[in-house]
A and B are shown apart, each in its own frame.
Chain A
């Protein structure tokens, strides 16, 4: 499977590394070449420097042959443009865009784009963690690996760290296919 990932941030780099280690053909696009340092040393895929919303850059990354294009930059609008460029100009069979505004996500799913929303994932996981415990979150919230020794001294620090870790863990799990919301397959138009 040929995969193009737009945006080599923490999420993009992790998805790229995981797919590469599972034998998929991965190409990562990022405008900032330093972002590629997030990729692990043994990364066997390709990296293309450039703007993932630019047709020429997308083409040079092999968009015409891609089976799936994922737009995972920090900007909803950029991700939406990159995904729709891949779908409509290059005919990519599947496109997934990270859209952090849930309402906008709904709109893009109606245009045939699969979306993933950090806000929804984090909120859902944290609601379950609060009410049923970390174990009930399917690994999205991870329980601590050790009890803090002097709880009375730094309850806030420990709690803060736990929340922070929980949030990082949830963010890092965004590659799970089950939480990508499918587009409705519509080919264009509004």
Chain B
């Protein structure tokens, strides 16, 4: 395959190296002359030392016959521009943009960039997977830690969503103290049905905490 890579930073450099090792034909466009020379010294004369967003340098890099182009600089504006120029002027079959600000993903897709890759989003995903985002929030402890006051946010995944408080099978030693709905505290009534966005403040013994968590928040 013939691949044009825009940006010779760390991502562009290692990407190029891997693609070459896999037997593909690759040209890198890197604006910084010193960096371009450095890559050329190591990987051969496959570097165009110029602005990868400009049509004539994309032409020089052979964008017209590229199967894939990937713009992987650290600047989303550059990656978008490089992909759009490659699409519009050279009709490249497949354009890939590295996205630094995850919020740009949707816009880039709307603008017909074929593929977006967001390292920020990937790392975020790993972190969120490791650490449960929704957990009991510890507000205070009493009696030297034997009793905890905790808060649980009811979201769409909560097992108790839509259930009445009287139907909750609370662990022994746990009681619901206050319900905060629409930013106002209210006394829990037995017929109150839990809704998304409700915050439940509970008093629980240290032993009952894990059970309370799985009851209100789920796994």
Contacts and interface: CB of A to CB of B under 8 A. Distances in A.
B54 A188 contact: no
Interface string B96-107: 000001011011
Given A76-B53, A80-B77, A81-B76, A190 B101 contact: no
A5 interface: no
Interface stretch (B15-23, B84-92, B152-160, B211-219): B84-92
A53 B88 contact: no
Interface string A163-190: 0000000000000000000000000111
Interface string A58-101: 00000000000000000111101100110011000000000001
Contact of A107 (B76, B78, B89, B112): B89
A2 interface: no
A110 B111 CA distance: 12
Contacts of B128: none
- Taking chain B's interface residues, is the majority helix, strand, or loop, or is none over half, making it mixed? helix
B46 interface: no
A84 B103 contact: no
B112 A75 contact: no
A128 interface: no
Interface in A115-152: none
B81 interface: yes
Most A Cβ at <10 Å: residue of B55, B107, B112: B107
Interface of B: 53-55, 75-78, 80-81, 84-85, 87-89, 101, 103-104, 106-107, 110-112
Given A89-B106, A104-B85, A107-B88, 9 more contacts: A75-B77, A76-B53, A78-B77, A80-B84, A84-B111, A104-B55, A110-B88, A188-B112, A190-B87
9 contacts: A53-B77, A77-B78, A80-B80, A81-B80, A81-B81, A84-B111, A101-B54, A188-B112, A190-B88
